[in-house]
Structure 1
Amino acid sequence: MNMKRLASVLLVLWSVSAFAKAKPAQPPDREVWITIGSDALDHVHKALKNAGHEAAASGGEKDGITVLRVRESQLNLISRTMHETLKRCGGFIYHETESAALAALDLTVAEEAAKATAVTYSIDNAQTVNSLVAGLQETAIRQTINTLSAFQTRFHSSQSGLDASNALKDRWESLIPAGRTGVSVAQFPTPSSAQPSVIMTINGTTLSDEVIVLGGHLDSTSSGSAAPGADDDASGIATLTEVIRVALLQGYRPERTVKFMAYAAEEVGLRGSAAIATDHRNRNIDVVGVLQLDMTNYKGSPTHDVALVTDRTNAAQNTFLTSLIGTYFSSEISWTTTSCGYACSDHASWTTAGFPASMPFEAPLSVSNPHIHTPRDTLANSGGNANQSLKFAKLATAYLAELAKGSLQPDDVTPPEVAITSPAQGSAVSGVTTVTVNATDASGVSRVELLVDGVVRATATTSPYTFAWDTAVETNGSHTLTARAVDGVNQSATSAGVLVTVSNATSAAGFDSGLRAPRCASVSNECDSGTLLNGRGGFMGPELNAPNTVQNSCADGLSGTYLRESSNERIVVSSIDGAHLTGGALVNISATVWSQTPRSEKLDLYVAADANAPVWQFVATLSPPDKGLQVLSTPYLLPTGTTQVVRAIFRVRGSAYPCNPGSYNDHDDLVFAVGRDPSLY
């Protein structure tokens, strides 16, 4: 059957298998063998006893690893126990026979000679890395997570688990461009499981005998009837799928052979990866590096994006990964280390087989996703987006391009077509104005940027490309709008300019995406934040763009309920005599606050003459006289400076300071244009 002919359909509805599939046979509840960390034995024995199961029989122990004889039906309970009590995903390896389990005790990392060729971890392929990374899209990752987690379960012995494997195979095949050779997708059978693993192979050009592997696991598990597994591990598979999509779209030709793998039956003892890793070892395939992505989308740590697993992984390759972060992503990806115990994911299969493996995880194990292995493992419980997974896609892309090397040979060499369709040339605009852009390209449009006078004001990644341009952040007068479109192979084009006239008669501020704060760009007799500051911290009330301090320089407290605990709601700067705001003039600064405990709350006001490099000057501390909404104000003499800023800090207890952390403290800035007093020049 011509699979290419089906690609366009599968791209949209890939979760539906193209063929009628036979219902998988249910495995008998037979005795099997597992190796497990000895530190987990008490937890496992207790869980089995509490569930009314027979006790697991021990069959040997060495170097902190124990052999257990259990029933097939007990594996899911053991897996849940490992997660709930030890924060481990998996934590054991399945073996068909007692002899295989005992052999695994003897096959320690120290005793097993490394099978892979020693490689030099050089970082010298920046052009390829940067081009591939530029094409990655959060929306594409999110769509794949949604599609995979829509299966009621992907448990390895279920019909839907088999359907998910078939659907993923079809999806990966649909990503291969027509006419592209040297790329194939196949399924790999899993011992004692109905679910096969899925493997995409991209043949290398000059070092094809050397292989790198990027993998995650396909299956899911839960104690309930539903096992969406959005984070564990639809997120890892979605991350890999996006790396594949961009690499093939941009015509990536690696020097080393690359294999992307979606392992089956990970949740019941790493069966899929163990079978594949053992096969590669037995056939003397030279696997020079393995990257495991098991859970990438739950940001459990507020300070770190990636937690690099240090136990049962390769130290040299781990250092390579941290070097990639430092070279390419130092400003957006922070990392730490963690340990996850014996056999916590599929990288352990490759380590046992003698190949160098690494596992960057989404958080330290102590703050990992509490929803996995339950029906609550949904995208909504990972923030509702794929922003965290996008960071892992970037790291995986850099790993791919720097370890497999190679270059891009895109078939599409034509840049996008892009034009602004509204507003019309010569229009007068004010307030929030809708800008509509039409952009098309044979390789798809990756993103469209709106530029005002050459400065990017907003970005859109999905069609229709419309922007809500707040003209209040621009000065009154003529401005040129352009749109820049970037396609899937990182080619860009810029539209013809559209000249418009901004004419704002009001004093309402707009949000300045550059300064990250409300701003009145035109000189007037008043600047009013309006409703932009309502709430606190982006969670308490409707405060958009929190924290609304210049360059996000001071965060809000994240405790309380809107209009019950303290918050700053509004800032207004107005001239006392009704004239335009000018340097040297006396003005009134007022802030509307919500007070819950007036005796312990204070409003601190600060100003700075240059919002682009603020040096804060204390103005006053004011006390709310009563509970509820009220306006507090004070006069102030404006300094010289054309773009000034006032900061309002509504705090609970403590003393005045320009940035004052506290669970209930609210920080807000208002940037405003100031004219020059002719008498001063």
Structure 2
Amino acid sequence: MHMKRLASLVMMVGCVSAYAKAPEREVWITLGSDALSEVNAAFIVAGAKTPSLAGQKGGVVALKIPESQIDRVSRVMHDKLNRCGGFLYHDTEAQALAELSAGGAALVPSSLAVNYTLDNAPVVNTLISGMAESNILASITHLSSYATRYYTSTTGVQAANWIKSQWEGYAGPRAQTGGDVTVELFTHAAFAQPSVILTIQGTTTPSEIVVLGGHLDSTNLSGGGAPGADDDASGIATLSEVIRVAMATGYKPAKTVKFMAYAAEEVGLRGSKEIADSHKNSGANVIGVLQLDMTNYKGSTVDIALMTDFTNAAQNAFVGNLINTYVSGVTWTNSSCGYGCSDHASWNSAGFAASMPFEALMGQHNSAIHSADDTLARSNNTATHALKFAKMAGAYVAELAKGTATLSDSVPPTVALTAPADGASVTGTVTLTANASDNTGVGRVDFLVDGNVVGTDSTSPYAASWNSAAVANGSHTVVAKAYDLIGNNATSTAATVTSSNASSNAIFDTVLRAPRCSNVSNQCDSTTLLNGRAGLGPEQNAPNTINNSCADGVSGAYHADESNDRIKVSTVSGAAFAPGEVVRVEATVWVFAIRPDKLDLYYTANANSPVWTKIATLSATATGQQTLSATYTLPAGQLQAVRARFRYNGSAAPCGTTSYDDHDDLVFAVNP
């Protein structure tokens, strides 16, 4: 019989004597309140005194525990909650209660000065083109050869010293006296393992700081060896490759860049917390933080999962744009990892904008972490997945910190659009063509309509197909943009064309990342574009939410569990979409269980910057496929959207986080 996964008390099997009480000092930790019952259960099963509740606010709790029980909490987070970290360590009760007051939300300093423009392509591509999988693989191989990199171990200290030596070697003369690079150990008074920090001084605005980090320690919650190949030798190796190419190309950032290998992440983010707090206390203007924790296990169909919780939304959007622009063929979506899941949480708590790109959707990541089986064999003895993250991190550095590098080619290509002709009238699918040349070679040609890329070709003759029904009828501008092998670019003379199409069936909009009817009609139908959920079933382009803003749950099976398969919007009167018209929203869903399955419908007047307003919550009336509907009145706005969220239990919200949620958007044009 098909069963839903329910929250329950699961007995932890372990050896009580291995966790015997010790007269060690008591410390404080903060963690998500959703983890409290599992933590208490683990202590009860082991015959230990349950943690003392020091405080609770919002979704965060503060607990007092013996320091000897830190590993038990780590094990609960991994085994029961499928999290890589999950809590923050605090030396004092005051620190823990201060974290409660923040509630895990970052308060961005007023001194923050961020430029999220993408205008440094030659430097980005110079860094990216020099990266090699073999270098990342060699670093992972060495780091995972230590018996353990646990924060109190001798080999954990040796690993930190090796990282320092490797980074100094990359920096060469630049790390000597008077150079613009420093490599240093950040010592922690409470434990032996140091963190490692490489700093490249900014040339123009050195007071603005960009941080990239990963953690150097490893752990085995069952005792024994802790190779930590993925968690997190992969992240350190990825950062190391970015450092290597930056030094090899003479990269000089306009803003100061710091690469960090944090100690003691596995026991409450202790190393990164101390470093982040030191930057906060000194008034440092850290404008962005990128955390690389586990980059080499491809557990999902998408390549990179951007964690949306305890991170900065604006910077996450920037990272997504970097991937789309610079890391060809790499896909990404959003996910969430819970409170304190890695070192980005330390920076977030200190009030700095942080992002956490991850190797897979949470729950589909490497299940062998924190064990002796976390070896390179889990990633087929390659570092091909980690190379994608190195390229993304290289783009992050070059576009956020800006700066220069030694370019092998400074001559831009030439390009001319050859079709369609200026003044042409177009319908349906249109072939776009261009001629391009360069002194060292053309990397690719993008075809843009109204500034949006609609096709790319990397081989001559350069051509792409454009569905003119994807835009509103009327005048549109078409150009070709050519890039050479390191990102120098040139744009053709524009052609102005007139589209004339009529269709009420949506097509996938590659810019908004959701189905869209671009021409005003009296209905808009997603047809089969939404059928399924999160890789379960034939749904293409999942999650089909505007800008990939809301991920779907990944549990269950196609047409056994919940999915939203189709959305149709139509006017009740039959007139064209216009402000004041009453429209009916119909959602075809697959129902698992009548009582707990609910459909939440929302609308927004501006699909380019959506603010969701609830239409209704509808209850399923039968299992299997059925169509549920509600009506609302169209507001003013020329590009609107509706969202259907089909959920198992939970409460109404535009974006949910349960493992059976399906979210889908439908964008449609409206008359002024």
| Same structural fold, with TM-score higher than 0.5 when normalized by the shorter chain | yes
Structure 2: distance between partners of 1:311 and 1:214? 18
What displacement does 1:48 show?
A: 2.0
Letter in 2 for 1:313: T
1:215 corresponds to: 213
Task: Check 1:314–1:191 CA distance in 2 against 1; reply closer, same or farther (3 A cut).
Answer: farther
Q: Identify the match of residue 89 of structure 1 among 76, 84, 92.
A: 84
1:448 corresponds to: none
Gaps of 5+ in 2: 1-21, 410-440, 444-484, 487-672
2:148 corresponds to: 153
The Cα offsets for residues 442-498 of structure 1, whole Å up to 9 and x where unpaired, read as xxxxxxxxxxxx9x9xxxxxxxxxxxxxxxxxxxxxxxxxxxxxxxx99xxxxxxxx
What displacement does 1:197 show?
A: 0.6
Task: Check 1:43–1:175 CA distance in 2 against 1; reply closer, same or farther (3 A cut).
Answer: same
What displacement does 1:152 show?
A: 0.5
Secondary structure of residue in 1 paired with 2:173: coil
Secondary structure of residue in 1 paired with 2:266: helix
Structure 2: distance between partners of 1:29 and 1:78? 16
Task: Check 1:43–1:108 CA distance in 2 against 1; reply closer, same or farther (3 A cut).
Answer: closer
2:275 corresponds to: 276
1:127 corresponds to: 122
Letter in 1 for 2:98: A
- Aligned pair 1:342/2:350, yes or no? no
2:364 corresponds to: 367
Task: Check 1:219–1:179 CA distance in 2 against 1; reply closer, same or farther (3 A cut).
Answer: closer
Letter in 1 for 2:245: V
* 8 Å Cα contact 1:191-1:271 kept in structure 2: no
What displacement does 1:164 show?
A: 1.0
* 8 Å Cα contact 1:177-1:249 kept in structure 2: no
- Aligned pair 1:39/2:37, yes or no? no
- Aligned pair 1:399/2:389, yes or no? no
Structure 2: distance between partners of 1:90 and 1:147? 24
* 8 Å Cα contact 2:113-2:208 kept in structure 1: no
1:196 corresponds to: 194
Task: Check 1:116–1:221 CA distance in 2 against 1; reply closer, same or farther (3 A cut).
Answer: farther
What displacement does 1:321 show?
A: 0.6
Secondary structure of residue in 2 paired with 1:150: coil
What displacement does 1:113 show?
A: 4.8
Task: Check 1:110–1:179 CA distance in 2 against 1; reply closer, same or farther (3 A cut).
Answer: closer
1:48 corresponds to: 43
Task: Check 1:111–1:236 CA distance in 2 against 1; reply closer, same or farther (3 A cut).
Answer: closer
Structure 1: distance between partners of 2:338 and 2:145? 31
The Cα offsets for residues 260-286 of structure 1, whole Å up to 9 and x where unpaired, read as 000100000111110011000110110
**Equivalent residue runs for 1:590-669 within 5 Å:** none
Q: Identify the match of residue 117 of structure 1 among 82, 88, 112.
A: 112
**Equivalent residue runs for 1:513-532 within 5 Å:** none
**Equivalent residue runs for 1:478-627 within 5 Å:** none
* 8 Å Cα contact 1:294-1:345 kept in structure 2: yes
Structure 1: distance between partners of 2:124 and 2:91? 42
Structure 2: distance between partners of 1:71 and 1:358? 32
Structure 2: distance between partners of 1:242 and 1:80? 31
* 8 Å Cα contact 1:115-1:354 kept in structure 2: no
The Cα offsets for residues 632-657 of structure 1, whole Å up to 9 and x where unpaired, read as xxxxxxxxxxxxxxxxxxxxxxxxxx
Secondary structure of residue in 1 paired with 2:39: helix
1:249 corresponds to: 248
Structure 2: distance between partners of 1:332 and 1:341? 28
**Equivalent residue runs for 1:120-519 within 5 Å:** 120-178=115-173, 181-222=179-220, 223-301=222-300, 303-329=301-327, 331-409=328-406
Structure 2: distance between partners of 1:219 and 1:103? 27
The Cα offsets for residues 21-61 of structure 1, whole Å up to 9 and x where unpaired, read as xxxxxx98321110011110111112222233222111110
Secondary structure of residue in 2 paired with 1:408: coil
Structure 1: distance between partners of 2:335 and 2:261? 24
Structure 1: distance between partners of 2:142 and 2:245? 19
Letter in 2 for 1:362: E
Letter in 2 for 1:151: Y
Structure 1: distance between partners of 2:97 and 2:321? 38
* 8 Å Cα contact 2:291-2:344 kept in structure 1: yes
Letter in 2 for 1:343: G
Structure 2: distance between partners of 1:273 and 1:334? 29
Structure 2: distance between partners of 1:79 and 1:179? 40
Note the aligned Cα RMSD (angstroms): 2.3
Task: Check 1:314–1:179 CA distance in 2 against 1; reply closer, same or farther (3 A cut).
Answer: closer
2:95 corresponds to: 100
1:609 corresponds to: none
What displacement does 1:178 show?
A: 2.5
Structure 2: distance between partners of 1:67 and 1:211? 31
Structure 1: distance between partners of 2:223 and 2:388? 31
* 8 Å Cα contact 1:91-1:345 kept in structure 2: yes
Letter in 2 for 1:341: G
1:73 corresponds to: 68
Gaps of 5+ in 1: 1-26, 414-453, 457-488, 491-681
Secondary structure of residue in 1 paired with 2:126: helix
* 8 Å Cα contact 1:212-1:288 kept in structure 2: yes
Letter in 2 for 1:235: S
Structure 2: distance between partners of 1:123 and 1:376? 40
What displacement does 1:408 show?
A: 0.8
Task: Check 1:152–1:39 CA distance in 2 against 1; reply closer, same or farther (3 A cut).
Answer: same
Secondary structure of residue in 1 paired with 2:135: helix
Letter in 1 for 2:48: H
Structure 2: distance between partners of 1:123 and 1:256? 16
Identity %: 55
Structure 2: distance between partners of 1:264 and 1:394? 24
Name the stretch that deviates more: 174-183 or 69-78.
174-183
Secondary structure of residue in 2 paired with 1:204: coil
* 8 Å Cα contact 1:94-1:271 kept in structure 2: yes
What displacement does 1:192 show?
A: 1.9
What displacement does 1:246 show?
A: 0.6
Structure 1: distance between partners of 2:125 and 2:399? 11
What displacement does 1:313 show?
A: 0.3
Larger Cα-atom Rg: 1
Letter in 2 for 1:350: W
What displacement does 1:112 show?
A: 3.5
The Cα offsets for residues 483-539 of structure 1, whole Å up to 9 and x where unpaired, read as xxxxxx99xxxxxxxxxxxxxxxxxxxxxxxxxxxxxxxxxxxxxxxxxxxxxxxxx
Secondary structure of residue in 2 paired with 1:316: helix
Task: Check 1:403–1:179 CA distance in 2 against 1; reply closer, same or farther (3 A cut).
Answer: closer
Compute the TM-score of the two structures, normalised by the length of structure 2: 0.56
Structure 2: distance between partners of 1:157 and 1:111? 30
The Cα offsets for residues 325-362 of structure 1, whole Å up to 9 and x where unpaired, read as 11112x42100111111110000111111110000000
* 8 Å Cα contact 2:107-2:352 kept in structure 1: no
Runs of at least 4 residues of structure 1 off by over 3 A? 108-113
Structure 1: distance between partners of 2:80 and 2:241? 33
What displacement does 1:163 show?
A: 1.1
* 8 Å Cα contact 2:174-2:181 kept in structure 1: no
What displacement does 1:409 show?
A: 3.4
* 8 Å Cα contact 2:235-2:293 kept in structure 1: yes
Task: Check 1:41–1:241 CA distance in 2 against 1; reply closer, same or farther (3 A cut).
Answer: same
* 8 Å Cα contact 2:106-2:353 kept in structure 1: no
* 8 Å Cα contact 2:106-2:310 kept in structure 1: no
Structure 2: distance between partners of 1:51 and 1:220? 24
Task: Name the count of aligned residue pairs.
Answer: 390
